[in-house]
């Protein structure tokens, strides 16, 4: 017996945990994917206070929750709560996906692979290319790891030298420089992994020119001042929606074992 929302005693639960989390697009993306694949599941946003991410993840077996997407500030606490980590999650000490598997909690970080897939969609193969990576936070570290694995020659530019060095250590042969010393014209790809642009801020580097690539991880807004300026100059541009969709698709597949309906998820994300 189901109610009007199609929810019954059989319906299984997954969620995104974060603080804040009400703005998250994950419920829209995952619920659209459940509807498209006929899965009797629901995906919620759970506001878990800072410092309680570990407890939230450890409660999954107790409550019978199948999977968590994990966002700020819980990514490191959630990694500590897992019984097993993927190689990426282990290298980063951070997870964005937790799944119950055979009675244990398995954590993965799908941001880096999500980024590579979004670049592949745009026909950008980073192997052998020089990449200027702006920022050294969680998204930048996941990007450095993935770009390095894909054969890119990475330079991390951040305002804190220690953070830049830590991020650069994740990509073989990567350099770390001060953000103020970054010259975008020296690179084939310029990738923004800072939040600068979410509120209309201008990045402290020259926008790329024709032949160069501008990549922005920001997905809200979908067009940042950095991308708009790069596009106006004739550079190739890639926004953050593709990475958002691909990392969610990888999480969906880990949680359900079902191939992700990528186009449905892309429409829901937009
Ligand atoms: P984070 O861990 O807080 O890191 C932010 C980075 O930007 C840090 O290196 C920080 O430097 C730097 N930064 C912040 N404000 C700055 C400023 N005014 N000037 C110079 N540097 C500044 O955040 P995150 O999780 O990595 O996220 C970064 C961006 O990526 C966000 O816009 C997020 O929405 C986006 N993102 C997108 C996806 C996707 O799927 N498309 C996935 C993850 C993240 P300090 O450490 O010195 O503060």
Residues 27 and 121 in one domain: no
Average pLDDT value for residue range 87-107: 96
- 214 within 8 A of 190, measured Cβ to Cβ: yes
Residue recorded with tokens 């020089």: 130
Residues 89 and 191 in one domain: no
Tokens in use for 82? Answer: 């897992």
State yes or no: pLDDT of 134 exceeds 80: yes
Ligand 1 probe mutation, 112, 135, 248, most atoms within 8 A of CB = 135
CATH code of the domain covering residue 144: 3.40.50.720
For residue 160, how far is its CA from the centre of ligand 1 (angstroms)?
13
**Secondary structure letter of residue 223 according to DSSP:** S
Residues 211 and 134 in one domain: yes
d(CA 73, CA 124): 31
- The answer to the question of residue 220 being in a domain is yes
Question: What are the distances in angstroms from CA 158 to CA 27, 108, 132, 194?
Answer: 32, 25, 10, 9
CATH code of the domain covering residue 30: 3.40.50.10860
Q: In this predicted model, what pLDDT tens digit does every residue of 176-185 receive, in sequence order?
A: 999 999 999 9
- The answer to the question of residue 3 being in a domain is no
**Closest listed residue to residue 205, CA positions, set 216, 143, 150:** 216
d(CA 236, CA 126): 13
Can you give the pLDDT at residue 4? 61
Residues 125 and 232 in one domain: yes
Can you give the pLDDT at residue 102? 85
| Number of domains the chain is built from | 2
- The answer to the question of residue 131 being in a domain is yes
Residues 79 and 157 in one domain: no
Average pLDDT value for residue range 31-46: 98
Average pLDDT value for residue range 122-144: 97
Higher pLDDT, 102 or 160: 160
- Ligand 1 atom with the smallest distance to the CA of 201 is 18
Residues 116 and 50 in one domain: no
For the chain, give the mean pLDDT. Answer: 96
* Sheet bearing 12-18, strands edge to edge: 41-47, 12-18, 67-70, 97-101, 104-108, 84-85
Residues 158 and 188 in one domain: yes
User: Which backbone phi and psi does 250 adopt, to 5 degrees?
Assistant: -65, -40
- The answer to the question of residue 50 being in a domain is yes
d(CA 62, CA 101): 14
Residues 85 and 137 in one domain: no
Q: In this predicted model, what pLDDT tens digit does every residue of 200-224 receive, in sequence order?
A: 999 999 999 999 999 999 999 999 9
Confidence of residue 103 (pLDDT cuts 50, 70, 90): confident
Taking each helix axis from N to C end, the angle separating 26-37 and 241-256, rounded to the nearest 10 degrees, works out to 50
- The boundaries of the domain holding residue 59 are 12-109+247-269
User: Which backbone phi and psi does 212 adopt, to 5 degrees?
Assistant: -95, 165
**Closest listed residue to residue 21, CA positions, set 87, 70, 91, 92:** 70
Q: What's the pTM?
A: 0.95
Residues 104 and 222 in one domain: no
The residue contributing the CA closest to ligand 1 atom 22 is 194
- 160 within 8 A of 166, measured Cβ to Cβ: no
For residue 36, how far is its CA from the centre of ligand 1 (angstroms)?
32
Is ligand 1 within 6 A of the CB of residue 193? yes
Residues 103 and 116 in one domain: no
Tokens in use for 27? Answer: 């419920």
- 78 within 8 A of 51, measured Cβ to Cβ: no
Residues 182 and 121 in one domain: yes
d(CA 101, CA 94): 18
Active-site position among 75, 117, 149, 236 = 75
- The answer to the question of residue 7 being in a domain is no
d(CA 59, CA 36): 29
d(CA 226, CA 246): 22
Residues 231 and 251 in one domain: no
**β-strands 12-18, 104-108: how paired?**
unpaired
* Residue 75 annotated as catalytic: yes
State yes or no: pLDDT of 1 exceeds 60: no
- The answer to the question of residue 2 being in a domain is no
- The answer to the question of residue 98 being in a domain is yes
């Amino acid at each position: 017996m189901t109610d009007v929302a199609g929810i019954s005693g059989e319906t299984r639960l997954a969620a995104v945990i974060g603080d804040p989390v009400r703005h998250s697009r994950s419920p829209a993306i995952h619920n659209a994917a459940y509807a498209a694949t006929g899965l009797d599941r629901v995906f919620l946003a759970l506001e878990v206070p800072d410092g309680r991410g570990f407890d939230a993840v450890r409660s999954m077996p107790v409550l019978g929750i199948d999977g968590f997407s994990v966002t700020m500030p819980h990514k490191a606490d959630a990694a500590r709560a897992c019984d097993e980590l993927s190689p990426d999650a282990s290298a980063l000490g951070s997870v964005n996906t937790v799944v119950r598997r055979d009675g244990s909690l398995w954590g993965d970080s799908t941001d880096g692979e999500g980024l590579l897939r979004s670049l592949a969609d745009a026909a950008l193969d980073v192997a052998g290319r020089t990449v200027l990576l702006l920022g050294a936070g969680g998204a930048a570290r996941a990007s450095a790891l993935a770009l390095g694995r894909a054969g890119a020659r990475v330079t991390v530019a951040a305002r804190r030298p220690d953070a830049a060095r830590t991020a650069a250590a994740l990509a073989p042969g990567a350099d770390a420089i001060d953000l103020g010393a970054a010259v975008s014209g020296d690179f084939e790809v310029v990738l923004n992994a800072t939040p600068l642009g979410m509120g209309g801020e201008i990045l402290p580097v020259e926008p790329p020119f024709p032949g160069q690539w501008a990549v922005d991880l920001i997905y809200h807004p979908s067009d940042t001042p950095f991308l708009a300026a790069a596009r106006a100059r004739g550079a190739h541009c890639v926004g953050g929606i593709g990475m958002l969709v691909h990392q969610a698709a990888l999480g969906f597949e880990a949680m359900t074992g079902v191939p992700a309906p990528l186009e449905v998820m892309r429409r829901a994300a937009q």
